[in-house]
Amino acid sequence: MEQELDRPALREYTQVVIQEADRLRSLMEKLLTPQHVPHFSALNIHEVLERVRSVVLAELPEGLLIHRDYDLSLPEVHGDKEQLIQVMLNIVRNAAQAMKGKGTITLRTRITRQITLMKKLHRLAIAVQIIDNGPGIPTHLRDKIFYPLVSGRPEGHGLGLTLAQDFVSQHQGSIEFESEPGRTCFTVVLPLPHSGKQP
């Protein structure tokens, strides 16, 4: 298909589609394997975010702006790339869907210091924020959106954030949100390797 397309932008989209199909197959295999162990390696969080950005822009090419506010000096995290792509994709897709495909999403990365994650104090961690200017999370859902099968959309399954939270905790990280009409911000914090304080 790629060879038959004449516009470079369209060719880029077919690449996105091919990469997504490969990633989903491998993720499925992992989910279906007993004890689905994540595959950890050193990775650049911005590569994860750039991938998510192109997937969501390919899905909703009109009306959606995805703004980047990256701290390019961040060190690499130790993580499972496919899991982290799925985490960010689920959050960014929710934001895009809540805005009905029209609005601005900001992807922000920062370093954070002295943070306690899963009862362990970490000297350094990476914070990824996904901010949208949509309607906000419906008030009656706010204290349960991470539970399975909780959805505010007629066609939703309510599994996106449950899976995101499960994957983030496999990275010893945390996921939280703040939401009001006009601004919803999800923050994923991932500890950096060897940043746990020794007793």
Point out which residues bind Mg ion (CB under 5 A). 94, 160
Residue 53, classed as helix, strand or coil, is: helix
Out of ligand ADP, Mg ion, none, what residue 134 binds, judged by CB under 5 to 8 A for its kind, is ligand ADP
How far is 117 from 22, CA to CA, in rounded Å? 32
Site string for ligand ADP, 136-175 (x = CB under 6 A): xxx--x---x----xxxx--xxxxxxx-------------
**CA–CA distance, 197 with 114 (Å, rounded to integer):** 9
- Return the number of the residue (75 or 152) whose C-beta is nearest Mg ion: 152
**Spatial separation of the C-alpha atoms in residues 84 and 167, rounded to whole Å:** 7
CB 39, min distance to ligand ADP, A: 24
From ligand ADP, Mg ion, none, interface partner of 38 (C-beta below 5 to 8 A by class): none
**Binding residues for ligand ADP, total number by CB under 6 A:** 23
Decide: is 188 part of the binding site for ligand ADP (CB under 6 A).
no
Q: Are strands 103-117 and 77-79 parallel, antiparallel or unpaired?
A: unpaired
Listed in sequence order, the residues at least 6 apart from 112 whose beta carbon sits closer than 8 Å to its beta carbon are 124, 125, 126, 127, 189
Min dist. Cβ of residue 45 to ligand ADP (A)? 20
- Identity of the residue, 61 or 156, whose beta carbon is nearer to ligand ADP in the bound complex: 156
Q: How far, in Å, CA of 174 to CA of 166, rounded?
A: 10
Residue in the structure block whose two tokens are 């701290």: 71
> Which residues of the chain form contacts with ligand ADP (CB under 6 A)?
90, 94-95, 98, 132, 134, 136-138, 141, 145, 150-153, 156-162, 184
